[in-house]
Amino acid sequence: MASVLVPVAYIIIVFGGLFVFTHFYRRQTSKQVFEPYFPSHPERNAYITLLQQSNPPVSDALLKSALVRRAMADVQRILKVREDKPALQALLQKGSIGDDLWNSLLAAEKEFEVEVMEVAAEANSFVEGWGQIIFSTANEMLANEKMRAVFERTAQTKLDIEQKYGVKAKPETTPAPSLVTSSLTQVSNGQPIPSASQTDPGPVSVTPSDGQSSVSRKGGKKNKKRK
């Protein structure tokens, strides 16, 4: 009988100790304040400041612009959290990071849920139904800003490549002057402008022949029919 009670008591003591430990650990971690994943939200603070300004009141156009900027910042943060979450989860399983960083990321996700609902409600207060498309509009504006930044860095990137490899890029060829430009030049030089019969070759038609397309110009003498 004693041989049976010893392992049963051992199991009760082990599992009881684990239960007490997890209970106090969760109670302690629930009271702990974690450092926020994102330190501040200047776009949200700017919108709230403009919204609370009453002397003089801010125009709706400026408030809408500030709200769109706030939505753009939210989209950037949501994308960053989605990119960081799998990597942080893998590092947490390996023990490379602590629970505080992981809990701050989870807190940021919950904060974004409230933020998205608040931005959508503010957008609907300006225009009914705007809250459903404001984040898609913000995403498109972010993509446009990225493309514009790449385009603006093209000249500097070209200069860096030339300096790195010591190769001078070929200058861009200027297109040939149009008919209007040549006509204006002739007028300024006192030369007559060519008539429409001299400049217009006639309409162009494309007719298929043996699986290939042959280009023929209408106008002038017509081709004689074969006998």
Give the Cα separation of 127 and 60 in Å (integer).
11
Residues 6+ away with beta carbon under 8 Å from 142: 72, 75, 76
What is d(CA 115, CA 121) in angstroms, rounded to the nearest whole number? Answer: 10
- Residue labelled with tokens 């809250």: 131
Task: Tell if the pTM clears 0.75, that is, is over it.
Answer: no
Highest mean pLDDT among 22-26, 39-43, 119-123, 151-155: 119-123
3-state secondary structure of 54: strand
| Residue 167, token pair as written in the block | 């190769």
Q: Kind and range of the H or E element at 99?
A: helix 99-126
Read off the pLDDT of residues 151-190 as tens digits, 9 standing for 90 and up.
888 888 888 887 888 777 666 554 444 443 444 444 344 4
Condensed to tens digits (0 to 9), the pLDDT of residues 42-89 reads: 999 999 999 998 888 889 999 999 999 999 999 999 999 999 999 999
Nearest to 119 by CA among 87, 72, 151, 159: 72
